[in-house]
Chains A and B, each alone.
Chain A
Amino acid sequence: MKIKFKLAVIALVMICTQSVFSQTKTLSGTVSDESGVPIPGVSVIAVGTTNGTSTDFDGNFNITILSNQAKTLMFSYIGYASQEVNVSNKTNFNIIMLEDQTQLDEVVVVGYGTVLKKDVTGAVTTVKVNADVAIQSNSVEQLLQGNAAGVQVTQNAGSLGSGISVKIRGANSLRGNNEPLYVIDGVIISSAGEDVIASGGVGNSGQENQNGLTGINPRDIESIQILKDASATAIYGSRGANGVVLITTKKGKNGKVKINSFITTSVRTITKKYDVLNGVDYANYQNEIDGLNGEDPGYEINGSQVFGVAYDAANNPTVSNTPAQILNWQDELYRQGFSTKVGMSASGGSDNGNYYISAGFDDQQGIVANSSLKSGDLRINLNQDLNENLKLETRVSGFFNSTDFTESGDLIGGSESFVNNVITFRPVITGEIEDLGQDLEAANPYSWVNDFSDFSKEKRYIGSLGLTYELPLEGLSYQIQAGGDVRTKDRRRFYGITTYQGANANGALQISTLNASSYQINNFLRFNRTFNNKHRINATAGVTYDVRNVENSIYAVEDFVTTELTTEQPFLASIITQPLQFFRSDQQIFSLLGRVNYTFNDKYILTASFRRDGVSKFSKNNRYGFFPSFAVAWRLEDEKFIKSLNLFEDLKLRAGWGQIGNHGIGPYGTLSNYGINGSLYGTPGNGTSVPLSLNNIANPNLTWETTEQLNFGLDFATKNNRFSGSIDMYDKTTKDLLQRSPIPTSSGFGTILINRGTISNKGLEVAFNVAPVSTDDFQINIGANIAFNKTKIETLGIPLKDFYIDGTAQQKSFYFGDNISRGLVFKSPANVFVEGEEMSLFYGYQTNGVYQTEDTDLTEGAKPGDIRIVDQNKDGKIDLLDRTFIGNPNPDFVYGFDLNFKLKRLTANFQFNGVYGNDIANGNLLRLGNAEGDGGNILTATYNNAWRPNSQSNIYPRIGFTTENRPAISDRIIEDGSYLRLNNVTIGYDIPVEKSKFFERLNVYIAGQNLVTWTHYSGYNPEITNFLYTGLINGVDWNGSPNASTILLGLNINF
């Protein structure tokens, strides 16, 4: 862009100095964009001559031409479709330039540089940033969802600021964290999965992750490019294996100041609830259970009223005089959340520089009374030519947020999970309780609202400074860029004494902090030049040093003298259950890199790149890795035999190969960690001592995992660019998989970091865009993408062992995932990783109805009314040998499409995204789907249709049937997780303000987010965000938060 602009300026200077000979006439006019904003600097050339000019600051031009030579004027400007206008007898022109998305001279940001779009050889997807949708979005990932083939975004709209996962072309590793690398204006932000460390809870029970990719406001984003194949990402070496998301923020355009401001207000509501027993049915259920346990009934039911029954020492009943209160806890706890968002940006520029300044404030309420998120952000982007050879680019952004209770409590079951507490708490409240929020026993759902806080505060500053110097050799420049990312976060969770945790502890406070800073120093030499109009070379060589220092701390206290100050004063607690402990994880990467992009005759393109990384995480012998890539492309549309067809505006074949590394584990894995383990020991006299212990098994052999990827692609555009798209096929193999592998606990440790195994991903991605109608007044644009991906475990490096499939032992290499819960249900792994199979398949018991009274083929220990588990090996008993594959959490394909309409001033945009063919293990059904009789509420159907001797069900088990301590899950909790979601609808209207001197554009819109989900999944939300980053648990819904939809009203003002 810059180059072209400069050329235009140079051309202009040359043209203007020419003298005029012939008979002349003077033409004038203005050039503006679609919204009527004048465009300065548009090149105006008399076609067939060297005569030209450019528009001035207000978009006006004057050109004097030789009337006998020039019949046509050509208007061109970067980012807009060029226009040729017949001069004939007109002398005054009002030209409206149309933005051109598909223009092939478009420049694409690739790693550490830019190339012309036509010279791209790799699989690079540009995500169109719809400004109206961007304003509504709270995080970058929302812009990616459904908008790029092969990019799967998983998030939960119902819980504010929750963790988010983005997967590009399937899972690349057996670790959970397959997050791509995010690069914002050249600065690497490697924090998508970064969060504070949980300071309480055990195992999987800790606090849920929150989004680590904060501080990048979607509305400031100019463009997003996604680098998907190895030839594109190899330049990022050991960090590019999961794909790279390159984000470019906006900059000012030459011209007078443009001010954009907006305000939106929205309401968020829960979309789906579990159908649990009402009060009367619940009382019936409990009485029935009491009877089965040989106990007296606790309730008396009279019509629609329920009365508590108490028993004295002689077991004489007393029925309460007042009816019990009957509640639907989901209705009680979930409410509408109102949100407001305001923001403003100012941008502009001159010949020597430009600026973009933006600020915003966001105040969101969640669907639970004490759930909220407030954030504010500021961005300043400045570009300035310091002199004719030296350019300065600066980017500075600041972000703060504060949230409360933006997630779902702890992940373990029972009263320690908010979500579970709300669903399963008894709907019948006996006794004289006037204020449920105050007077109910501890660990009731209200305690989460009234007596629990989960505050987090975050501040983040991202900045970069770049100097580019045009060296004396034409096309050669040097750039030094320094960038940094400073992030601090403080999360405090307070459990008051009416919560389960707080009742145990007499108030408990957990404090976690994160203090992360990273900086990079990048040095680049770039050479960009065309020789003889045939050879175009675009080369980059660089040296980068990348440092990331992260310090986490945890601290927990309990037993408060007063709980009045909640999270604010730990001193009020008398017991330190977790002494202040710091965790450091620092890493340094030193890299050399280079890339050459060579184009011959505008048809044949070759790209070669390499990166050599040295990473501190590995021991000296394994520290350095070399990652090469090659790619070729053939622009067929410029070949005569294609040109003669007159069919394609674009037709390009691409092929690429590359190797990329990954060191995506924490540091220090090669070292033995002797030190504190977070606990104290007692001393005689009830003091404390600090015990030291060995906390890990070091693995000095750790090294990179390496991904090798082959990609073939085809880009096309036809029918005057009205139909365009691309198709990519890839085959990638990742070997020496770095994983935190579960090991036998008899070793004294739970896991080890290890390089082991190979997985492959093969896939096909198709994306296309159709614009069947495109006039000024009426436009239709349809974009669609679909991606098929198959992940296969090629090798595991684990010795063969008996593995049972359908009752038969087979020699397989395999390992199991993590146990889901540490409670009594779901205390077994759901997933198994087997060589030759897809990743993380569900493994457990097949079932086949319910045992009936007359059945004679009961397995050992089973009784009528129990779920009939298929006895695979037919030995008459159900044990581990009867496990088999029961589901697959990997989708067959993910897809998205969007429809855009414009009718005069009215615009409408619909975005859909979906996942097809995956299974979900809905762990919530373990309690809700069995009438276990543990006092918790269950699904209505589970109780009403339960198997009873006199009405035998073949679907629901008997009352009292439990799956507690069962060593495997069953297919009864496996559900189809496919869904299609109407993710966003935005309908906008441009209020006519052309005559106003004040406004340039005034746009109102109404939008709906997450409006409709088509799915067969019975849980809250088929988009599962539990266990996002573990890698050992996949596709498991365990107390997942409800889904929410948002209706939003917005106003954009440009002036």
Chain B
Amino acid sequence: MKNFKFILILIFGFLSSSCNLDEDPIFLDETLYDTPQSASAALDGIYQELTNYNTLERRIFVVNGFSGLFVAARGGDNINSSHNSQIVSLKPTYDGDSESMWGGLYGAIAQTNSAIKSITVVDNPSTKDELLFSDIAGHAYFVRAWSYFSLVRLFGDIPLWLELADSENLNKSKSTAKEVYAQVISDAKNAASLLNGASGNGYPKRYAANMLLAKVYMTLATNPDLREGSLTEMDYWQMAYTEAMKVYGIYTLVPNYSSLFTDSNENSTESIFELQISQDAANSQMGRNFTPPNYKASQAYGYLRVHADVYDQHVNTYPGDPRIDATYLSEYANANTGDIIKVYPADATRANFKIANPYFFKFAEKDKTHSNQFNNQNHIIYRYGELLIMLAEISNELQNGQQLGYVTELLDRVGKVPHAGYLGSKENFRDAIMMEYRFELIGEGEDSHNNRRRGFDYFLKNTINKHNNNPGFNANVDLTLNTTKSEVMGLPIPLKEVNTNELIN
């Protein structure tokens, strides 16, 4: 009977022990937006989405590859590689890079939707915390606007998520590009009113939202299908001017152009919107992907080279321009063997594809002894140099007489003056300023958009045919850019989205 009692005690002990079936995971919940510290970390969560490989590096590869100004040295360094024969020669197909970029940008959008839903913003914030929450909400609107603006310009009609997906709401049909632009404008305006600088150094201020708005208005000015109601082209140029002028004078150009692309001059006076990259954060392999092979000690791929004719045009337009050395690289010593490597123009033979075009150097790791695949160089998305070009372009359209001043201000830094092209007609000025984007900003992220912003005919004439018909064109080493209108103006919605979205056929 002793055993029996013993077992009875066991049964009793067992049945009376509580069997707690509630879960206790090591997660946080949406209350993280309630306290300043964790809400700031959630803000970094948003910007971190913009620096991940898909969003930053793939985006740079896609917008440059699809601009008509570059060749790819990636995935087979030859003229027939799939990159070169597809997206880079403007015959886009379902490619993995734009698919990943799509996912990356929408990933950032989801984080902004989460923040917009959960963060509490009061009218007229005054306390330190209220100001911070307002600023964080402003960043969420800003990043959402910037992401949709990036997507809509490449893909056209796209799903417009303004809320978090949930188990009952997983699919979204396409909104028209016009609806997306309207949302971008609304978000950018919200951002401009909410951003107050409370998050501190390293984050964009409200001027970044103004600059974004100016860019949107410029885009709509030359795309009548996207304009709202009775607003005219000139209305949009005027609205763009107003927004751009809110930024004018707030920032200044750094004296040394090439210092923009080093890690010693980050978050400079010229920087309006900059992503924070740290080797210790392991958040960017730009220095691995875009450094010419063997320029630095460790593995580097030199994903992109610039068309030789684009280089030539820059040199011919601005001989001795210090921007040239900061942008292109054609001769360097192999960091491992010391051998001199030369491509065009240092080796002008253009004997084979690999040496026929100069490397794109802005995002290269400049430290030749650098041993890691991650590096420190921040990525500037908006800078004052671009704003000056925008103001010049807008002013030319408005013919307000200020246009040459902004160009002069920009070129002064590199010891140049506006060339003759600026001195002719409005059309001449327009062509010159559109080319100035290229000289000043090539590869930084807007080439695809700037080249297409004025429509197919302008793109065909000033980018595609200019390359295909350039006197040095050599079919053995130069890509022939596609000229079919229906193919060159945008990217197809990525296959993964088409395959999974129940509302997109």
A432 nearest CB across to chain B (Å): 14
Asked if A504 and B164 sit within 8 Å, CB to CB, the answer is: no
Say if the beta carbon of B42 comes within 8 Å of chain A. yes
Question: Given A590-B21, A694-B110, A822-B96, A680 and B282 touching (CB < 8 A)?
Answer: yes
Give bound CA distance, A586 to B21, whole Å.
10
The answer to whether B41 touches A690 (Cβ under 8 A) is yes
Is B281 within 8 A of A471, CB to CB?
Answer: no
CB pair B23–A746 under 8 Å, yes or no, is no
Query: Does A682 lie within 8 Å of B80, measured CB to CB?
Result: no
| In contact, A575 and B172 (Cβ under 8 angstroms) | no
Supposing A674-B30, A686-B278 touch, asked if A742 and B42 sit within 8 A by C-beta, the answer is no
Give the number of chain A interface residues (Cβ < 8 Å).
110
Please state if B283 and A682 are interface contacts (CB–CB under 8 Å). yes
Q: How far is the CB of A360 from chain B (nearest CB, A)?
A: 35
B470-497 contact mask (Cβ, 8 Å, vs A): 1 or 0: 0000011100000000000000001111
| Binary CB contact string for chain B from 44 to 85 against chain A (1 if under 8 A, 0 otherwise) | 111111011100000000000000000000011011111000
CA distance A672 to B299 in the complex (A): 40
Contact among B75, B277, B283, B502 for A679, CB-based, below 8 A:
B283
Q: By the criterion CB–CB under 8 Å, are B45 and A691 in contact?
A: yes
Residues of chain B within 8 A of A469, CB atoms compared: 3-4, 7
* Closest chain B residue, CB of each to CB of A521: B14
Contact check, A693 vs B505: say whether CB atoms are below 8 A apart: no
Interface residues of A in 744-777 (CB under 8 A from B): 744-750, 752, 754
A668 touches B25 (CB 8 A): yes
Residues A747 and B161 in contact in the complex (CB < 8 Å), given A681-B47, A686-B263, A689-B44: yes
Q: Which residues of B contact A829 (CB under 8 A)?
A: 499
- Is the beta-carbon distance between A824 and B7 smaller than 8 angstroms? no
A747 & B106 in contact (Cβ 8 Å cutoff): yes
User: How distant is the Cα of A798 from the Cα of B3 in the complex, in angstroms?
Assistant: 59
Chain A residue nearest to B40 (CB atoms) is A689
With beta carbons under 8 angstroms apart, the residue of B48, B82, B374, B476 that contacts A294 is: B476
Query: What total of chain B residues lie within 8 Å of the partner, measured CB to CB?
Result: 110
Determine whether A216 belongs to the interface, using a CB cutoff of 8 Å to chain B.
Answer: no
Tell me whether A802 is interfacial, beta carbon within 8 Å: yes
Contact across chains for B27 and A672 when beta carbons are under 8 A apart: yes
In the complex, the number of residue pairs spanning A and B with C-beta atoms less than 8 Å apart equals 317
User: For A480, A683, A819, A933, which residue has the most chain B Cβ atoms within 10 angstroms?
Assistant: A683
Does the CB pair B94–A967 fall under 8 Å? yes
Contact present for A824 and B78 (CB under 8 Å): no
A965 touches B14 (CB 8 A): no
- Chain A, residues 648-669, CB within 8 Å of chain B (1/0): the string is 0000000000000000000110
Tell me whether A748 and B21 are in contact (CB under 8 A).
no
Interchain CA distance A747-B496 in the complex, whole Å? 12
List chain A residues, Cβ under 8 A from B107.
745, 748-749
Docked Cα-Cα span, A188 to B353, in Å, equals 62
- CB < 8 Å: which of A506, A744, A965 contacts B96? A965
A682-B276 contact in complex given A390-B3, A467-B7, A746-B159, C-beta closer than 8 Å: yes
Q: How far is the CB of B332 from the nearest CB of chain A, in Å?
A: 14
Of A294, A387, A749, which is within 8 A of B3 by CB?
A387
> Whole-angstrom distance between the alpha carbons of A713 and B94 in the complex?
52
Q: Is A3 an interface residue, CB under 8 A from the partner?
A: no
B166 to chain A: closest residue by CB: A697
Q: Once the chains bind, are B352 and A295 in contact (CB under 8 Å)?
A: yes
Residues on B with C-beta less than 8 A from A645 are none
Is there a chain B Cβ closer than 8 Å to A222's Cβ? no
Q: Which residues of A contact B373 (CB under 8 A)?
A: 504-506, 558
> From A756, which residue of chain B is reached at the shortest CB distance?
B167
Is residue A699 contacting chain B, with contact meaning CB distance below 8 A? yes
B266 at the interface (CB under 8 A from A): yes
Alpha-carbon separation in the docked complex, A292 to B78 (Å) = 10
Q: Is A187 an interface residue (CB 8 A)?
A: no
Task: Using known A-B contacts A590-B19, A616-B22, determine if residue A828 contacts B277 with beta carbons closer than 8 Å.
Answer: no
A692-B45 in contact (CB<8A): yes
Query: Which A-chain residue is minimally distant from B94 (CB atoms)?
Result: A967
The answer to whether residues A671 and B44 also contact, given A745-B106, A824-B96 and a CB cut-off of 8 A, is: no
Contacting residue for A575 out of B45, B372, B499, CB 8 A: B372
B122 within 8 Å of A (CB atoms): no
Contact A615 B21 (CB under 8 A): yes
* Contacting residue for B159 out of A390, A586, A701, A744, CB 8 A: A744
Contact B7 A480, beta carbon cutoff 8 Å: yes
Query: A699-714 toward B: CB 8 Å interface, digit per residue (1/0)?
Result: 1110000000000000
CB distance from B331 to the nearest CB of A (A): 11
- B378 CB-CB contact with A under 8 Å: yes
Given contacts A671-B27, A744-B500, contact A691 B21 (CB under 8 A): no
A-contact 0/1 string along B5-32, CB 8 Å cutoff: 0010011001101011111111111101
- Tell me whether A827 and B278 are in contact in the complex, defined as CB-CB below 8 angstroms, given that A469-B3, A965-B82 are known contacts: no
Contact of A293 with B95 in the complex, beta carbons under 8 Å: no
Closest CB in chain A relative to B8 CB, distance in Å: 9
Residues in B with CB closer than 8 Å to A586 are 23-24
Instruction: Please judge, given known A-B contacts A294-B79, A693-B42, A697-B164, whether A686 and B280 are in contact too, CB under 8 Å.
Output: yes
* Across-interface contacts of B286 in A (CB, < 8 A): none
Q: Which of B113, B475, B498 is in CB contact (< 8 Å) with A748?
A: B113
Query: In the complex, what distance in Å separates the CA atom of A670 from the CA atom of B496?
Result: 25
Contact with B along A605-623 (1 / 0, CB 8 A): 0000000001111000001
Contacts of A282-316 to chain B: CB distance below 8 A: 292-296, 311, 313-315
Task: Give the chain A neighbours of B172 by CB distance below 8 A.
Answer: 744, 746-747
Docked Cα-Cα span, A934 to B19, in Å, equals 60
Q: How far is the CA of A1037 from the CA of B59 in the complex (A)?
A: 31
Of the candidates A815, A934, A967, the one whose C-beta lies within 8 Å of that of B500 is: A815
Q: Which among A469, A615, A684, A934 has the highest number of chain B CB atoms within 10 Å?
A: A684
Asked if A623 meets B21 with Cβ closer than 8 Å, knowing A294-B79, A503-B298, the reply is yes
- Inter-chain contact B502/A745, CB cutoff 8 Å: no
- A575 adjacent to B500 (CB under 8 Å): no
A294 in contact with B477 (CB, 8 Å): yes
Q: Are A680 and B110 in contact, CB atoms less than 8 angstroms apart?
A: no
Of A504, A521, A698, which contacts B167 at CB under 8 A? A698
A648–B280 Cα distance when bound, in Å, is 77
User: A627 within 8 Å of B by Cβ?
Assistant: no
Interface residues of A in 858-875 (CB under 8 A from B): none
Chain A hits for B440, CB < 8 A: none
Cα(A700)–Cα(B53), bound, Å: 31
Q: A854 to chain B: closest CB distance in Å?
A: 24
- CB-contact partner of A545 in B7, B19, B299, B342, under 8 A: B19
B500 touches A745 (CB 8 A): yes
Q: How close is A733's CB to chain B, nearest CB, in angstroms?
A: 24
**Which residues does chain B contribute within 8 Å of A699, judged by CB atoms?**
166-167
Contact B352 A294 (CB under 8 A): yes
Interface status of B201 (Cβ within 8 A of chain A): yes
Q: Kindly state whether residue A370 has any CB partner on chain B within 8 Å.
A: no
Q: Are B170 and A681 in contact (CB under 8 A)?
A: no
B120 at the binding interface (Cβ < 8 Å): no
Q: Which 10 residue pairs are nearest across A and B when measured between Cβ atoms?
A: A748-B110, A964-B82, A682-B278, A693-B45, A294-B476, A682-B276, A747-B165, A691-B44, A680-B281, A744-B501
B contact residues vs A (CB 8 Å cutoff): 3-4, 7, 10-11, 14-15, 17, 19-30, 32, 38, 41-42, 44-49, 51-53, 75-76, 78-82, 86, 93-96, 99-100, 102-103, 106-111, 113-114, 158-159, 161, 164-167, 170-172, 201-202, 263, 266-267, 275-283, 288, 298-299, 342, 347, 349, 351-353, 371-374, 376, 378, 475-477, 494-502, 504-505
Q: Can you list 22 A-B contacts (CB < 8 A)?
A: A295-B352, A574-B372, A577-B282, A588-B21, A623-B21, A668-B25, A671-B27, A674-B29, A679-B52, A680-B280, A680-B283, A687-B280, A691-B44, A691-B46, A694-B164, A748-B107, A748-B164, A824-B75, A880-B495, A932-B76, A960-B80, A964-B82
Q: Given contacts A682-B278, A745-B99, could you give 13 more A-B pairs where the C-beta distance is less than 8 Å?
A: A202-B53, A293-B80, A467-B7, A503-B298, A523-B11, A584-B26, A680-B281, A681-B281, A697-B167, A746-B172, A749-B110, A880-B495, A935-B76
